Structure 1
């Protein structure tokens, strides 16, 4: 089974590169990736991939293998080359040694249980004193580059880790914590306790929109206005509840943001997430540039 999976994995990798594609193999992930790149006048010129077995199980004549795939795409666009990376977990099932299913295990995105209101956040903000800091964008980006596919043991790890990861990047960049021990106030992490804004996607979005002390940001109207170290918030369903965050770590050949993230562990991914399995036509974005305190 492992060899069958390895053979299929190697064949699928070639589907990402235009001049190596086979019409005999259909891999939706590669098709979506190719279409997304074509819309940006970009192409993958080389791809490397590695697989890692995470779990194996057997029930009657069915066998299941859970594995992680790590992709590295060398992308050419407007005369420049850059490397994008991502990982995903997949589940393959076999029946009598024949592959019958192989699909992505989609991460569960934030579904907030805390329904904060912007008016409550503003009221809490008015009670705080102003913190002085200078945001070091380089340090924030360096941290995002180092930890995009691993977890710093100095911080708590969350099942849905995207917002925790962004908060770590911002904090390493110099943004000060404040508000402890009120979980619905400020932005902070203390050992096994944290504010909702530190770890919950929608709460961080509300905090960035309303904070006038400590970590502060200004909403801008378009992604091309963002700088390295800035934040993008995603509402995949367009229902008003934001469930993912990323940090800008680079720019593509046309000056548009490339981002790093957890949950969907990725590096130098195009900001719009059109190639993500979480993407829907109803997606909404918020763009925040971090300002010094």
Structure 2
């Protein structure tokens, strides 16, 4: 079982760095195309796998495992490492691998959310200076782990981004009203802290504490700024990332949770949730210095 999984993992790795016509994984093909479209190249891939548990059905046992990929990307002379973690399950029949699929595929955040006009902000002014370096350091430290100081969610993308912004000294406001402000305390939280759609509407309309302004282009974003994603283009925002680096064109590379990844190209064209109708919101964090 272990040997077959290793062999399958190496086939996916080789697909990224060769021009083979034998497509083992559509996701890997999308990643190659995304990098090539930017006139970059995946020059090396390192992958490790760890089996977490085995479900012992009589004829079709399943291995639940984690695959960690590191992609060395050369983009116009700028070399960086993108990382991604996949939670997967492999099914075997009479000792032979017959199916392997990803469990933590990027799915839209469909949880109940508040939008503009439903989330209140209060009147008391809260002054702060956003520390972008601290926010990015936090994003790097916790991109592939859950901080036990916070509540954990199955759809964790916006919770993770909120933690990053708070680490950058953005103040919580509105506790204990869940439809007021932006906060998480005592294992309770506002909708704006955890739900992608509420978060997207709150930031550009907040008048105190954490707030942001929309910019028109991703290249205008700075480290510690955020991007919101509407994968279907239906007006419902599903995902949130934070800018942690830039590529050779000065375009954002982002960290994210749920499907844990770091220094990923901002457009998400290699995502399982991507559609041609995708829409983005680019949010530049404001403080009392600007």
Provide TM-score, normalisation by structure 2.
Answer: 0.95
The answer on whether the counterparts of 2:115 and 2:197 sit within 8 Å (CA) in structure 1 is no
- The yes-or-no answer on 1:4 pairing with 2:8 is no
Name the SS of the counterpart of 2:111 in structure 1. coil
Counterpart of 1:229 in structure 2 is: 224
Which residue of 270, 284, 291 maps to 2:286? 291
Secondary structure of residue in 1 paired with 2:12: helix
User: RMSD over aligned Cα, in angstroms?
Assistant: 1.3
Secondary structure of the residue that 1:254 maps to in structure 2?
A: coil
What count of residue pairs does the alignment treat as equivalent?
Answer: 287
1:248, distance to aligned residue in structure 2 (A): 0.2
2:235 matched to which residue of 1? 240
Q: 1:245 to 1:58 in 2, by over 3 A?
A: same
Instruction: Provide runs of 4+ in structure 1 moved above 6 Å.
Output: none
1:119 matched residue in structure 2: 117
| Map of 1:194 onto structure 2 | 189
* Residues in 2 aligned to 1:197 and 1:174: alpha-carbon distance in whole angstroms: 17
Structure 1 length-normalised TM:
0.94
Number of the residue aligned with 2:244: 249
Q: 2:74 aligns with which of 73, 76, 95?
A: 76
Distance in 2 of aligned mates of 1:82 and 1:13: 17
Unaligned runs of 5+ residues in structure 2 are none
Report the CA distance between 1:204 and its aligned residue: 0.6
Q: Does residue 176 in structure 1 map to residue 171 in structure 2?
A: yes
Distance 1:197 1:102, change over 3 A: same
CA 1:44/1:223 → structure 2, altered by over 3 Å: closer, same or farther?
Answer: same
Aligned to 2:87: 89
Q: Could you give the per-residue CA deviations for residues 80-101 of structure 1, whole angstroms, max 9, x where no partner exists?
A: 1011101011121111122211
Matched, 1:45 2:43: yes
Give CA-to-partner distance per residue, 1:144-194, whole Å, 9 cap, x none: 011110111111111111101000000010100000010001000112100
Unaligned segments of structure 1, at least 5 residues: none
